[in-house]
C-alpha cells in the first residue's frame, strides 16, 4: 500500500557540533516553566525501589532537582503548590527500545519514499508524543536508514528547542550484507539501500563504530540475529556476527566509554552476545540456560518488546504471517516465564515506531500479563531503564538530589498497571509539559 502523508514545513537551524549534554541540562522551553520552588501533592506517592506507597505524597522541586519527598514536605515562601488529586506520583517512565524515525505503515518503504529531513520532522513529533505519554527518557534503537539524524533531535531536545525525552541515540544500527535490515524483500538488481550500516568483518565493525561515534552516537546497536523460523515446533534463528566479532565491537565501543546493545532473538546469537559483554539483548525470544546465567552474572538486560509483537499479530499482511507472529509470541511468552525464574535483569522496551508513538505504556500491561508483578514491571521501566541508559543515580526514582522527572497516573498502578496508559501529569527536568 502506498503511503501518503502531509507535512508542515518547519524551518530551523541547529548549530554544528553541539556537544552532548548530560541530563542536568536545564531546557529552555515554551511549555510551562517551573517556578523556582514547586510542591507536587497527590493522594499517593510510589517508592519504586521498595513498592511502598506514601499517602498522601508530596515532592518539593527546586529548579530541576527534587529536594524533598514525603507525606508532607517543606513549603518555603513563594513555592507553588500543584494539587494532582486522586493520583499516584512516580518517576518519569523510561522506554529502552524506541524508533523515533518510524511511524505505522510499510516500514521498508519509509526509507525508500521519505527523505531524511521529512523523517526527522516525524521524529520530533514522535518525541513530543512519547514525552506527553509520560516517557521522560528513552533509548532510540536505530534510525532505520536516517543515519545520524537522531543526533540533531537529541541535541535540540537538550538545548530546549523542542520537547522530548532525554535520549540515548545510536544513529543507524549495524548489519551485515544480506542481514536482518538489508532490504531483502526488494529486487536485488535495484540495489535498495540497507536500513543499517554495513560491517562484514571485525575491521569493518571498528571502522563503522568509529564513524558512528564521530557523528554523535551514545551507544552502538548491532543486529546479531536474522529471520526467525519455527519448523515442527523447533525455533531457529541464524546468528550474524561471531562471538569474536562482537567482542571486538564491545571493546571498541568501551574504548570511548560507550556500550553495545544487540537485536537478538535466540541461540546461538544471544549466547555470543552475552559472552561478548553487551549491555542488553533486545527481544530475547529464547535464551539458553548458559545465556541466562551470564546475563544474571553480568547484569545484562533483556528487553522483551511484547507490544510490537502484539501489533504485528494484529496487523499482519496475510493470515500466514499472522499465524507465524502468533507462534513466535507464544514461544516468547513461555520463555519469558523461564527468564523471570532465572532472575534475568529486565528493562522495559516497546519497539514503538511501527505502532503509534505515545501508546507504548501497553508494554507494562503485557509484561504483567505474561508473568511480572506490577512493581517489577514498573521497576523495569524506571530503575532498570535508568541503569541501562547509564543515568542511574540521576533519574528512575523519586529521591532527594535526583532530577525532577515525575509523572502522575490516576489511582494506584500497583492495583491496576493499565493506569500507566493514562498519565495525567508530566514533569521533566523541573519543567511541566502536561497538567
Domain at 305, CATH number: 3.20.20.140
Domain at 88, CATH number: 2.30.40.10
pLDDT of 10 > 80? The answer is no
| Alpha helices (runs of H) in 165-216, residue ranges in sequence order | 202-214
Residue 423 lies in a domain: yes
| pLDDT score recorded for residue 30 | 42
Residue 30 lies in a domain: no
Residue 25 lies in a domain: no
For residues 232 and 322, membership in a common domain is answered with yes
Using pLDDT thresholds of 50, 70 and 90, give the confidence band for residue 302: very high
Within a 10 A sphere around the Cβ of 259, how many other Cβ atoms? Answer: 18
- Structural domain harbouring 53: 37-92+397-434
Give the count of domains, the chain: 2
For residues 146 and 242, membership in a common domain is answered with yes
Q: Angle 23-27-31 (CA atoms, 0-180°, nearest 5)?
A: 130
Give backbone dihedrals phi and psi of 270, rounded to 5 degrees, phi first: -65, -35
For residues 79 and 100, membership in a common domain is answered with no
For residues 244 and 154, membership in a common domain is answered with yes
Q: Which residues contact 137 (CB under 8 A, 6 or more apart)?
A: 23, 92, 94, 95, 165, 166, 167, 385, 386, 389, 391, 395, 405
Provide the strand spans (E) within 135-287.
135-140, 166-169, 174-175, 197-198, 220-223, 229-231, 234-236, 260-264, 280-283
Residues 238-257: tens digit of each pLDDT: 999 999 999 999 999 999 99
For residues 223 and 326, membership in a common domain is answered with yes
d(CA 41, CA 70): 10
Residue 12 lies in a domain: no
| pLDDT score recorded for residue 265 | 98
Using pLDDT thresholds of 50, 70 and 90, give the confidence band for residue 280: very high
Using pLDDT thresholds of 50, 70 and 90, give the confidence band for residue 346: very high
Q: Are 70 and 104 in contact (CB under 8 A)?
A: no
Q: Are 64 and 429 in contact (CB under 8 A)?
A: yes
For residues 326 and 194, membership in a common domain is answered with yes
For residues 360 and 405, membership in a common domain is answered with no
Cell numbers at 361, concatenated = 505504556
Q: What does the mean pLDDT of the chain come to? A: 91
Has this prediction a pTM greater than 0.75?
Answer: yes
For residues 146 and 266, membership in a common domain is answered with yes
Amino acid at each position: 500500500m502506498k503511503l501518503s502523508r502531509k507535512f508542515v514545513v518547519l524551518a530551523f537551524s541547529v548549530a554544528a557540533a553541539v556537544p552532548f549534554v548530560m541530563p542536568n541540562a536545564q531546557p529552555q522551553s515554551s511549555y510551562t516553566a517551573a517556578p523556582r520552588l514547586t510542591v507536587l501533592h497527590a493522594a499517593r506517592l510510589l517508592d519504586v525501589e521498595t513498592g511502598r506507597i506514601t499517602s498522601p505524597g508530596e515532592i518539593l522541586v527546586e529548579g530541576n532537582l527534587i529536594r524533598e519527598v514525603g507525606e508532607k514536605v517543606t513549603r518555603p515562601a513563594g513555592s507553588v503548590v500543584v494539587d494532582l488529586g486522586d493520583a499516584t506520583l512516580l518517576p518519569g517512565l523510561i522506554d529502552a527500545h524506541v524508533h523515533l524515525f518510524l511511524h505505522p505503515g510499510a516500514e521498508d518503504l519509509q526509507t525508500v519514499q521519505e527523505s531524511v529531513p521529512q523523517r526527522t520532522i516525524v521524529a520530533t513529533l514522535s518525541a513530543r508524543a512519547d514525552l506527553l505519554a509520560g516517557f521522560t527518557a528513552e533509548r532510540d534503537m536505530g534510525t532505520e536508514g536516517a543515519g545520524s539524524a537522531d543526533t540533531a533531535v537529541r541535541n535540540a531536545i537538550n538545548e530546549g528547542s523542542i520537547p522530548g525525552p532525554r535520549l540515548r541515540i545510536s544513529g543507524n544500527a549495524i548489519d551485515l550484507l544480506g542481514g536482518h535490515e538489508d532490504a531483502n524483500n526488494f529486487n536485488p538488481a535495484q540495489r535498495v539501500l540497507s536500513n543499517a550500516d554495513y560491517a562484514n568483518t571485525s575491521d569493518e565493525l571498528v571502522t563503522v563504530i568509529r564513524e558512528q561515534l564521530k557523528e554523535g552516537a551514545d551507544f552502538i546497536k548491532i543486529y546479531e540475529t536474522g529471520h526467525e523460523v519455527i519448523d515442527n515446533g523447533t525455533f531457529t534463528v541464524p546468528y550474524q556476527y561471531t562471538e569474536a566479532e562482537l567482542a571486538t565491537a564491545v571493546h571498541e565501543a568501551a574504548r570511548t566509554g560507550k556500550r553495545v546493545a544487540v537485536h537478538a532473538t535466540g541461540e546461538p546469537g544471544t549466547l555470543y552476545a552475552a559472552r561478548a559483554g553487551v549491555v542488553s539483548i533486545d527481544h530475547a525470544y529464547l535464551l539458553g540456560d548458559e545465556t541466562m546465567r551470564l546475563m544474571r552474572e553480568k547484569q545484562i538486560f533483556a528487553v522483551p518488546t511484547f507490544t510490537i509483537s502484539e501489533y504485528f499479530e494484529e496487523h499482519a499482511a496475510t493470515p500466514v504471517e499472522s499465524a507465524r507472529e502468533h507462534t513466535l509470541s507464544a514461544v516468547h511468552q513461555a520463555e519469558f516465564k523461564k527468564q523471570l525464574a532465572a532472575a534475568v535483569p529486565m528493562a522495559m522496551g516497546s519497539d514503538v515506531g511501527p505502532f503509534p508513538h505515545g501508546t507504548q505504556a501497553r508494554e507494562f500491561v503485557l509484561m504483567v500479563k505474561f508473568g511480572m508483578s506490577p512493581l517489577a514491571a514498573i521497576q523495569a521501566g524506571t530503575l532498570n531503564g535508568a541503569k541501562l541508559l547509564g543515568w542511574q543515580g540521576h533519574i528512575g526514582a523519586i529521591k532527594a538530589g535526583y532530577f525532577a522527572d515525575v509523572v502522575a497516573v490516576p489511582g494506584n498502578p500497583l492495583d491496576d498497571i493499565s493506569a500507566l496508559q493514562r498519565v495525567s501529569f508530566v514533569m521533566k527536568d523541573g519543567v511541566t509539559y502536561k497538567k
